Amino acid sequence: MTIDITPSGQACGATVRGVDLRALDGSTTAAIRSAWLDHKVLAFPDQDLTDDDLEAFTLRFGPFGDDPFFAPIDDHPHIAAIRRTADETSSLFAENWHADWSFQEYPPDGTCLYSKIVPPVGGDTLYTNQQAALDAMPADLRDRIEGLVAIHSARGGYAPDGTYGDDDAAGRSMQIRPSEDAYATQLHPLIRTHPETGAETLYSTIGYIIGIDGMDDDEARPLLGELYGWQIRDEFQYRHRWEPNMLVMWDNRCVLHRATGGYEGHERLLHRTTIGYNADVRAA
Ligand code: SIN
């Protein structure tokens, strides 16, 4: 099967046509993996996928990730519904830039999102290429972050007093489960080497990053703020516009993403899986 790949023309992202994601053979899967590593975000339009198909596709790229703080949909423990009803007034889910679950010891390599209900306006997902951001970083900023190790935590979002905490549940249609577990912390270097491409890349950002190991907050906060301003510059971004029945997979190891609004009065529903930390590609 020959796949047709059209780069977005932006800082990352490509659209892939000419493939049925329900019927992948080994060589097509390898071609998709290679395109994923090149473009970091792949969109597959016009895919008619059941939840079983979505799970099977995900497992072609790694094990399922561990999704804390979400209740899964019925009968599919690895699928979460990213849902917003037309009249919902709760804060937008995932509106801040992030790399999924970067507070875990072994964060997920990727995420798949499959669109089931797409609003006629708004609801784009934004991505920012963190390999490009590091490549273009001024030497002065790079010198100041070189060798630093970031402290990650889910507390700002998912602790009982976080954004999606105990006071949030009323009116939110997404099934989020805040927990004391969110106070845990985990260390990851600010600059990491991508395990498959070998490229250096920035990893995660302020939000899930709450400090720098061994550095006073008075020093760490402005540095993380300056770094954030660089990470999300327009020239590193890709704006993804959804169509119904579109699957998007992104590489959490080298992109950040965030949701956008602008669809008040319209429903939006996507099903999400995570591609977990894949020991096999690291051993290869
Ligand atoms: C997510 O971060 O999983 C959701 C992104 C979106 O809703 O656009």
Cα angle 180, 176, 151 (rounded to 5 degrees) comes to 45
- Residue whose CA is closest, atom 5 of ligand 1? 259
Q: Compute the average pLDDT of residues 88-106.
A: 97
Number of other residues whose CB lies within 10 A of the CB of residue 71: 13
Q: Tell me, using a 6 A CB cutoff, whether residue 82 lines ligand 1.
A: yes
Q: How far is the CA of 82 from the centre of ligand 1 (A)?
A: 7
* Residue 155, SS3 per DSSP: helix
- Edge to edge, the sheet with strand 247-251 lists 4-7, 14-17, 41-44, 247-251, 110-117, 268-275, 80-84
Nearest CA owner, ligand 1 atom 2:
94
pLDDT tens digit sequence for 170-198: 789 999 999 999 999 999 999 999 999 99
**126 within ligand 1 shell (Cβ under 6 A):** no
- Topology of domain 4-275 in CATH is Double-stranded beta-helix (3.60.130)
Going by their DSSP bridges, the two strands 209-212 and 149-153 should be labelled as antiparallel
pLDDT at 124 exceeding the cut of 80: yes
pTM beyond 0.75: yes
pLDDT 10s digits, 74-96: 999 999 999 999 999 999 999 99
Taking CA atoms only, the protein residue closest to ligand 1 atom 1 is: 94
Residue 169, pLDDT above cutoff 80: no
∠ Cα 165 168 169 (to 5°): 100
Q: What was the pLDDT predicted at 1?
A: 65
Query: What are the counts of helices (DSSP H) followed by strands (DSSP E) for the chain?
Result: 7, 15
Position 115, amino acid:
S
Give percent helix, percent strand, percent coil of the chain, each to the nearest 5: 25, 30, 50
